[in-house]
Amino acid sequence: MTVVSTTLGLFPLPDDARERLADLKGHQKEDLVSGDEAPDIEAVYDEARDDLLTRQADADLDRAVEGQARWDDMLAHPLAVHENVRTEGIVRYYDNNNFYRDPVVTGDLTHSGDLARDLERASALTDSLQAVVPGPYSLSRLATDDHYGSSQAFLAALGDFLAGEVESFPDAVETVFVLEPSLATESLDDGEDERAAAAIDTVAAATDAEVVVQSYWGTYGEKLHAHLLDTDVSALGYDLVTAHDDATYLVQEYGTLDSVSLGVVDGQNTLVESPDTIEERIEWFRDQIPVSEFDTVYATPNTELFYLPVNKFQAKLRALGALGGDRE
């Protein structure tokens, strides 16, 4: 079994980049990222990306993410910068004190290439690149549909849209993490669980990279978990910080894929876990289940890390980076 230390991306913006962007852009809604930034603003984002990748290299993480310094709207970013989406009032980002602009889809969600451009730039700075995208179901819950006309058509369209984005990623991308917190925070209706899994399958089919579906703030319902096991993704992710008992129950009862992703570091708590604590959480999970021989265990925070101060974020990277390697 190989342990791969990595993260779910969405990092806190380095302080110097935050200050320079405030000087260049201000703090108003119209000053948020639109996908058409001036060269001096793009230069700050380029430097921030370089900074975030350097921090991951210094921490010795096995897979590095681009960092998503341009994402003003957390998971909703790919829609917020799309030409057929307008943004309206701010909306609470799940059950916390962060907010994003409500993306209202007004036309066909065609391929934009926004994510691929950032990853192309990152690929020149690391030889172990991981992409992070929102999952189609979570995106459907975060956005407003003013074009497709039904929740089923909207979800399918988001799956196709994200597949188009993923298909354009550079070959350097080794892993694609699909973040799906809404799969855990909401109870999916009959049929909705199958459609959510099908939309994820559409995304997974668009790339040869390993695809990991990661949910957090809870875990999957039993029927949904079964549908996810039938997809072509490489691994399912389980949040061992907030739902360790429910997650292990699912795996004990229904099994899982040959690889798993384990949220073993609290992405919203400034208390920094030691490498020994993280290792114990991985071994505890393995001890709870009948078959513990996985091909790969991705060791990650249980959520995005943008909630943390930069110094705590860096400390959590170092704790994770101390893990990687093969296990008996």
Task: Give every strand in the sheet of 296-301, ordered side by side.
Answer: 64-65, 129-134, 173-179, 210-214, 235-239, 259-265, 296-301, 2-5, 325-326
Which two structure tokens, joined as six digits, stand for 193? Answer: 């669980």
Per-residue pLDDT of 138-178, as tens digits, reads 999 999 999 999 999 999 999 999 999 999 999 999 999 99
> Which residues, 6+ apart, have CB-to-CB distance to 105 below 8 Å?
79, 82, 84, 85, 143, 144, 145, 146, 147, 148, 154
User: Which pLDDT value is given to residue 237?
Assistant: 98
Is 80 exceeded by the pLDDT of residue 27?
no
Instruction: Kindly report which listed range (179-183, 191-195, 321-325) carries the lowest average pLDDT score.
Output: 321-325
Residue 12 is given by DSSP the state: P
Contact indicator for 57, 126 with CB cutoff of 8 Å? yes
How much is the pLDDT for 139?
98
Q: What is the pTM for the complete model shown?
A: 0.95
Confidence of residue 23 (pLDDT cuts 50, 70, 90): confident
What backbone torsions phi and psi does residue 19 show, to the nearest 5 degrees?
-70, -40
Closest alpha carbon to 118 in 186, 172, 197: 172
Tell me the two tokens of residue 314.
């860096």
pLDDT tens digits for 198-216? 999 999 999 999 999 999 9
